[in-house]
Structure 1
């Protein structure tokens, strides 16, 4: 259910007004494409747990494959991520991880040879990447418990292990794999073409959310040339910086999801009639709409300030964790309100809210579960760790 064109924009605090005119025009063009050419086509892919490959050329044509490298402002990039999340969190996850982790990692941490082989193909979505960190037995404790090993054998790296919940793992052309060097114990990053013998990916099915994203279980028993190691990813410190920024980006996903929920709830309330009048005229429905709008406005102000700290180089992991945890918590609350307001129709993907509700459950848990992110905030505020 696409929003009414004549209704007020769901950017309630008008964050886009802070963009320069050229970026605002570009954002409006991206929004128009997403709302008219993408949003109406997504439900069948979500129902079937299939990836929407046919939508990638349109996204590439808007420059979304190289967003992190195009010189645009930080706020513009985050608002683009929010607009994609507004229509679908799987596409948002693909474009966000693609830019923040895969393309960004190749461009900033890779060698000239890595960039020559992969960067242009990634920028155009000709190739897709997979960021391979989480493991079957190590999610929240992956920094200390990561079990995938990398052993230098002559002039080759031998990488053995398993990864889980890897986005685009079955459809990616290149995997960026984090493994522990058997020689020094450091966690390092490696470029693994997915056609390398010994790379196996199995799609995870039956998910309640992010059903368009092709998450995978991956097993690795591969041999790679010595130059497969990313020179800028010689320790886990590089991953921490990437994960801090991507954790903040998930906060923008939560913001975008709340925009989409407000779209759907408001449009349904105006179109659906009961007892001879639109649902929007009932106090309980207006109360739900106002609460969803309040959650969205609160998230807007928080994310704007966190982005400002990032631009100033003052964003810490605590800020990113707070933004991610709070935004996704409020998105979860708004999804419940919207689903309830739609009654029985709220159970159908045709009306979007059930799809969004399932997808929000996923972002509530990834990039650090809600509990882990609250403990990061609690440690920063009290100076006392409560992780174990």
Structure 2
């Protein structure tokens, strides 16, 4: 097998990585191949969370990614991107669990909590002794999550929350859920931490239900959560969240994870397609010997290389604090489109075998449908870039 099929890096970008980043890349890749890949298809087909596959995840030195201290590694943007890439290269569900737990939930506590709150929750989460969830999206507020309607009312030394959250990864099972709600007193968004009680149950008024019938990311469960007079102590309100601007700080800090994951899915699609083409014979020849197949593989590698270049540059700009919203949107839009197209091409190249989980590409294809939707749909990313080009916002229109 050629080196290119083992590590599709046509423009030698990994040569620019430090020895520590190379070791990190290889460590995550080996973990995925040993613990996740042998088991993931069975869990994916059943729609179950592969908890046994997480054995060893806490020992990789990646949980908490960009967070410094509290048992977290303080990774660079490039290193954090490599983690998402290599996890996506193995499985999207595992990467989603990791991103929700490690980046969105822990990131909210780290950036918006006070020191006591960080010490209270982050160390056990860094060891995955407790797991986290991030409850922002609502049934009627996805792309416009800034308009969230879940309410919070101060009542003595507690807050009373009412509302509805949906598509909350691990929201039915997490030990710690950061939940965003709008303060009735000033209309501003605040952040609260919901904890499981000592008996393992959620407090009264937190009512999660697993969303069934998904066609992608089946090995990570999302919850629909009804919130009815849920009482949260004041000490569980993250002290430094005063408005949606603070929520955006968390989203900005974790931005780019979906783009790196898309690269991982693209790498997997290329590897699967190229290896299959070399092994599969039709009309007495490996299908890799046919012109049409070679053109497809060349196009896939070209698309993959452009995705890798975009994400590498994105990480550089993030480190310099020069990445704009429009830049991030262009990267998300481009990587999602190209990775999804690559997965579709690979699935087609495998013919009927591409429909079988044992060949893995069907899982990557449907998981990429999810990646194209979360952290901003393709259309929303295009509108952000379009606004940058024209200086005209087309997000809202006055109803007639």
What's the TM-score bracket when you normalise by the shorter of the two chains? over 0.9
Instruction: Return the offset for 1:40.
Output: 2.6
Correspondence 1:182 to 2:184:
yes
Corresponding residue for residue 208 of structure 1: 215
Q: Is the 8 A contact 1:247 1:321 kept in 2?
A: no
RMSD: 1.6
Correspondence 1:30 to 2:28:
yes
Correspondence 1:118 to 2:121:
yes
Q: Is the 8 A contact 1:247 1:324 kept in 2?
A: no
Q: Write the distance in 1 (CA, Å) between the matches of 2:110 and 2:333.
A: 29
Show CA shifts across 1:317-358 (max 9, x none): 111111111110111111111111111111111111111110
TM-score by length of 2: 0.92
Corresponding residue for residue 16 of structure 2: 18
Q: Is the 8 A contact 1:68 1:99 kept in 2?
A: no
Q: Is the 8 A contact 1:132 1:163 kept in 2?
A: yes
Q: Write the distance in 2 (CA, Å) between the matches of 1:197 and 1:141.
A: 28
Q: Write the distance in 2 (CA, Å) between the matches of 1:351 and 1:295.
A: 22
Identify the match of residue 308 of structure 2 among 277, 289, 300: 300
Q: Is the 8 A contact 1:322 1:373 kept in 2?
A: yes
Identify the match of residue 74 of structure 2 among 71, 74, 78: 71
Correspondence 1:228 to 2:227:
no
Instruction: Return the offset for 1:172.
Output: 0.7
Correspondence 1:282 to 2:280:
no
Q: Is the 8 A contact 2:262 2:368 kept in 1?
A: yes
Identify the match of residue 262 of structure 2 among 254, 257, 260: 254
Q: Is the 8 A contact 2:4 2:10 kept in 1?
A: no
Show CA shifts across 1:265-314 (max 9, x none): 11211222212222211222212211111111011111111111111011
Q: 1:6 to 1:184 in 2, by over 3 A?
A: closer
Instruction: Return the offset for 1:14.
Output: 2.9
Corresponding residue for residue 130 of structure 1: 133
Instruction: Return the offset for 1:248.
Output: 1.8
Q: Is the 8 A contact 1:295 1:330 kept in 2?
A: yes
Instruction: Return the offset for 1:5.
Output: 7.4
Corresponding residue for residue 381 of structure 1: 389
Identify the match of residue 139 of structure 1 among 135, 139, 142: 142
Q: How many residues of Structure 1 are paired with residues of Structure 2 in the alignment?
A: 385
Q: Is the 8 A contact 2:177 2:194 kept in 1?
A: yes
Q: Is the 8 A contact 1:131 1:167 kept in 2?
A: yes
Q: Write the distance in 2 (CA, Å) between the matches of 1:109 and 1:17.
A: 37
Correspondence 1:371 to 2:343:
no
Q: Is the 8 A contact 1:199 1:219 kept in 2?
A: yes
Q: 1:22 to 1:244 in 2, by over 3 A?
A: closer
Identify the match of residue 101 of structure 1 among 104, 119, 124: 104
Q: Write the distance in 2 (CA, Å) between the matches of 1:241 and 1:304.
A: 22
Q: Is the 8 A contact 2:336 2:372 kept in 1?
A: yes
The runs of 4+ residues in structure 1 deviating greater than 4 Å are 3-6
**Runs of 5+ unmatched residues, structure 1:** none
SS of equivalent residue, structure 1 residue 68: coil
Q: 1:105 to 1:381 in 2, by over 3 A?
A: same
SS of equivalent residue, structure 2 residue 372: helix
Correspondence 1:47 to 2:45:
yes
Q: Write the distance in 2 (CA, Å) between the matches of 1:149 and 1:90.
A: 30
SS of equivalent residue, structure 1 residue 67: coil
TM-score by length of 1: 0.95
Q: 1:236 to 1:59 in 2, by over 3 A?
A: same
SS of equivalent residue, structure 1 residue 299: helix
